[in-house]
Amino acid sequence: MTDSIKLTTVTASIATESITVTNAAGASVTLAIRDISALTNIISAESCPLLTPRPAQFVTGLTITRDTFGADAAYKTVKYMLNYLFFFCPLGQGATLYEKFDDMVTAAAVILNYFGTHTNLSGATDILPGVVEDFEPVINADGALYHGCGIPFAVTQFMET
């Protein structure tokens, strides 16, 4: 039994998911999901809708617990949060500041529903969306505001798996 923390496997799994959402132009598109190896400081209107790892505090609350006797050889469980940002469209897109707000909420709900019903991702024993604290706005590296929200994922992994 070799233990491992498959954090990068989980992020790769998330990045390969295919989720169809309606973008700010009203078109049905596949949500772009970035892996941690594809992070850039460029997020533009053309990138959206986009789900990307939040560079600051990407992994939070990581704990490792020993579940059985056996010291180093014991069954252990690792739990952590992965924090993503959902960029839907620039805040000013649309005739009014909040014209696209409802579209963002609709798309975010689609994403949350998807991950609420796809909890068997490679690298995780269990994964579920966590507590969404902030619906709007999200900020790119240039300081531009976007309709969007933070989407955390609560990951549980048996370390021997």
From residue 155, alpha-carbon distances to 46, 73, 127 in Å are 30, 22, 5
Q: Which is it for strands 50-53 and 32-33: parallel, antiparallel or unpaired?
A: parallel
Using CB under 8 A as the binding rule, whether residue 75 contacts other proteins is answered as: yes
Residue with the two structure tokens 């579209």: 103
Helices (H), the chain: 7-16, 101-116
Choose, by CB under 8 A, the member of 22, 119, 129, 145 that binds other proteins: 119
Measured CA to CA, the distance from residue 82 to residue 60 in angstroms comes to 7
Using CB under 8 A as the binding rule, whether residue 60 contacts other proteins is answered as: no
**Closest by Cα among 145, 117, 146 to 129:** 117
Residue 72 is encoded by which pair of tokens? 């180093």
Choose, by CB under 8 A, the member of 58, 114, 135, 158 that binds other proteins: 158
Q: In the complex with other proteins, which residue's Cβ is closer, 29 or 128?
A: 128
Binding-site residue total for other proteins (CB under 8 A)?
Answer: 8
Using CB under 8 A as the binding rule, whether residue 160 contacts other proteins is answered as: yes
- Window of 9-17, 37-45, 107-115, 153-161 that interacts with other proteins by CB under 8 A: 153-161
Using CB under 8 A as the binding rule, whether residue 126 contacts other proteins is answered as: yes
- Window of 25-33, 51-59, 101-109, 119-127 that interacts with other proteins by CB under 8 A: 119-127
Which residues make Cβ contacts (< 8 Å) with residue 70, sequence separation at least 6? none
Residues near other proteins, by CB under 8 A: 75, 119-120, 125-126, 158, 160-161
